[in-house]
Amino acid sequence: MSVHLEPDSTSGVAPPRRRASFLAGARAMVPLALAVTPIGLTTGIAFAQLPVDPVAAWSSSWLLYGASSQLVAVTTFVTDATGIAAIVASLVVNARLALYGAALAPRWREQRAGWRVLASYLIIEPQFIHAQERDGRPGTPAERAWHYLGGGALLWVYWQVVTAVGIAAPALVPHADALWAAPLLCFVAILAPGVRTRSAKLAAATAGGVGLVATALPWGAGILIALTAGMLVGGRRRTEVTS
Amino acid sequence: MSLWVVLLIAGIGALALRVAFPLFIPRLSISPRWQRQVDLVYPAAMAAILAGGLHGLVASSSWARLAVLAPAALVTAWISRRTGSVLAAIGAGLAVVLAASVIGLG
């Protein structure tokens, strides 16, 4: 009797190659994981300053898994204890993740549903960068899939640890105020290599400009408005160039 | 509503947003024009989040910090583009901030 396994691209690779791709993905994620350390620490330190259950606040690291949405959800909950504003604000901030998912979805068509759910759960900016970087190099879909999971696993575990350190051990970061610029510089460092084309520069400039004005809007709507404006303006430039 | 319930609902919503396209519309054929638009999500999202952080400094009138942040951001962007190392770029940017604080700025 033979057992039929549903074919997918992750099973189409020998175990040693899977391990090698998984470990290579984890190694490639190390710089990005280290880069988010200041954000993780400051997120944790911010939670520790708020009048909320620290364990519940830390749990946002695996329930929401994203610094901006975690901060928005927990801080909005502090100002509006009904929780509705916190949920809406978090969803608005996370709306960009659906767009990342749209960008990655075509590459995952051959994967099983369970794999796609796991891979989707891991979607966040550094993971997206990690996937984009790997796609620019040769390799099979299976190797890319294991590479993605390797990077995602490392970043996820690291994020849980670093936010916990930020919450539980503020004494380890006695001069946390000195890190005030770290989160902003982190975004600059991640953004800079991604804006090489004129349309990307236009999209970033528009999103940044609109974001400066729209950030004051309630429920984090400013980020979504700025993101949409940047995409529309940058995309318009591309269309003009193409036509 | 407790924070636990809020985070649980928000987490389910976040997962739904993440899996929406990969799980339910995996065979969506994206036109080249839409794909070009999607490619701009990343720079636009990063810039929008960055602007949110800058807005906090502007709103609190932290002009000295903004004055320090500008050269630090330039150094960070330059090193990131030159070396491709996010870590080295942040380290260099923080060094600028630290140097500014040592001489009494920021």
What is the phi-psi region of residue B104: left when phi exceeds 0, alpha when psi lies from -120 to 50, beta otherwise?
Answer: left
Residues B2 and B12 occupy one common structural domain:
yes
**Long-range contacts from B68-73, C-beta under 8 angstroms, 24+ separation:** B68/A181, B68/B96, B68/B97, B68/B100, B68/B101, B68/B105, B68/B106, B69/A181, B69/A184, B69/A185, B69/B97, B69/B106, B71/B96, B71/B100, B72/A181, B72/A185, B72/B96, B72/B97, B72/B100, B73/A184, B73/A185, B73/A188
Distance from CA of B30 to the nearest CA of A (A): 8
Total domain count, chain A: 2
Q: Is B81 found in the same domain as B44? A: no
- Clarify whether residues A113 and A199 are in a common domain: no
**Structural domain includes residue A101:** yes
The reply to whether B44 and B68 lie within a common domain is no
Ranked by mean pLDDT, which of A37-46, A217-226, B25-34 comes out on top? A37-46
Residue A167 included in any domain: yes
Tokens of A6: 């549903």
pLDDT (mean) for A8-30: 78
- Is B67 an 8 Å CB contact of chain A? no
The helix or strand, by DSSP H or E, that contains position B52, with its residue range, turns out to be helix B41-59
What integer pLDDT is reported at residue A210 of this predicted model? Answer: 93
Contact B42 A94 (CB under 8 A): no
Collect all residues with Cβ–Cβ distance below 8 Å to A169 and sequence separation of at least 6. none
The chain-wide mean pLDDT, for chain A, equals 82
Residue A39: inside a domain: yes
A165 and A74 assigned to the same domain: yes
Distance from CA of A183 to the nearest CA of B (A): 8
Check residue B45 and give its pLDDT: 78
Statement: residue B49 has pLDDT above 70: yes
Q: Write out the DSSP string of A135-163.
A: HTS---HHHHHHHHHHHHHHHHHHHHHHH
Q: What is the pLDDT of residue A243?
A: 47
A216 with A113, same domain: the answer is no
Nearest-CA neighbor of B73 among A241, A193, A9, A185?
Answer: A185
Residue of B48 and A243 predicted with greater confidence: B48
Judge: A205–B47 Cβ closer than 8 Å, yes or no. Answer: yes
- Residue-level pLDDT at A174: 58
Same domain, B67 and B101: yes
Chain-chain contact of B94 with A181 (C-beta, under 8 angstroms): yes
Residue in this structure with the two tokens 């979805």, named with its chain if needed: A105
A230 lies in which domain range?
A: 195-243
Residues B95 and B105 in one domain: yes
Residues B3, B42, single domain; the answer is no
Q: Is the pLDDT of residue A2 over 50?
A: no
Q: Are both A136 and A239 inside the same structural domain? A: no
Mind listing the pLDDT tens digit for each residue in A55-86? 999 999 999 999 888 987 888 788 776 788 78
Q: Inspect the interface and report whether the beta carbons of B8 and A63 lie closer than 8 Å.
A: yes
- State whether A144 and A42 are in the same domain: yes
Closest-CA residue of A relative to B55 is A212
Percent of chain A with pLDDT over 70: 84
Q: What is the rounded distance in angstroms from the CA atom of residue A205 to the CA atom of residue B83?
A: 23
Structural domain for B100, as ranges: 62-106
The answer to whether position A103 is within a domain reads: yes
Statement to judge: residues B67 and B103 lie in one domain: yes
Q: How far apart are CA B82 and CA A126, in angstroms?
A: 19
Of A209, A204, A200, A177, nearest to A188 (Cα)? A204
| Interface touch B90/A194, C-beta < 8 Å | no
pTM (2 d.p.): 0.67
A142, A230: one domain:
no
Greater confidence (A186 vs B106) lies with A186
Asked whether residue A10 carries a pLDDT value surpassing 60, the answer given is no
Residue A180 lies in a domain: no
Whether residue A3 has pLDDT greater than 50: no
Task: Give the whole-number percent of chain B exceeding pLDDT 90.
Answer: 30
In a domain? residue A120? yes
Q: What is the distance between the alpha carbons of residues A190 and B79, in angstroms, rounded to a whole number?
A: 11
Question: Is the pLDDT reported for residue B55 higher than 60?
Answer: yes
The residue in chain A having the minimum alpha-carbon distance to the alpha carbon of residue B79 is A189
Q: Do B66 and B37 reside in the same domain of the chain? A: no
For residues A79 and A140, state if they share a domain.
yes
Q: Are A202 and A169 contained in the same domain?
A: no
Residues on chain A touching B98 (C-beta within 8 angstroms): 178
Q: Are residues B10 and B40 in the same domain?
A: no
Is the ipTM reported for this complex over the cut 0.85? no
Q: Do residue B80 and residue B95 come from a single domain?
A: yes
How many contacts does A have with B, using Cβ atoms within 8 A? Answer: 290
Phi, then psi, of A30 in degrees rounded to 5: -55, -50
The reply to whether B94 and B71 lie within a common domain is: yes
Judgement on whether residues A169 and A205 belong to the same structural domain of the protein: no
Indicate the residue of A52, A66, A230 with minimum beta-carbon distance to B48.
Answer: A230
| Inter-chain CB proximity A66 and B14 less than 8 Å | yes
Q: What is the mean pLDDT of residues A104-117?
A: 88
Residues with Cβ within 8 Å of B24's Cβ and at least 6 positions away in sequence, in order, are none
- For the segment A200-209, the average pLDDT, to the nearest whole number, is 92
Asked if the structure places residue A165 within a domain, the reply is yes
**Cβ-defined contact of B48 to A223 (cutoff 8 Å):** yes
CA distance A25 to A199: 30
**Region of poorest pLDDT, from A17-26, A105-114, B67-76, B79-88:** B79-88
**Which one is predicted more confidently, A35 or A201?**
A201
pLDDT at A173 over 70: no
Mean pLDDT on A154-175: 83
The minimum CA-CA distance between B11 and chain A, rounded to whole Å, is: 5
Give per-residue burial for A191-203: e unless 16+ CB within 10 Å, then b: bbbbbebebbbbb
Asked whether residue B23 falls in the same domain as residue B35, the answer is no
Count up the domains in chain B and report the number.
3
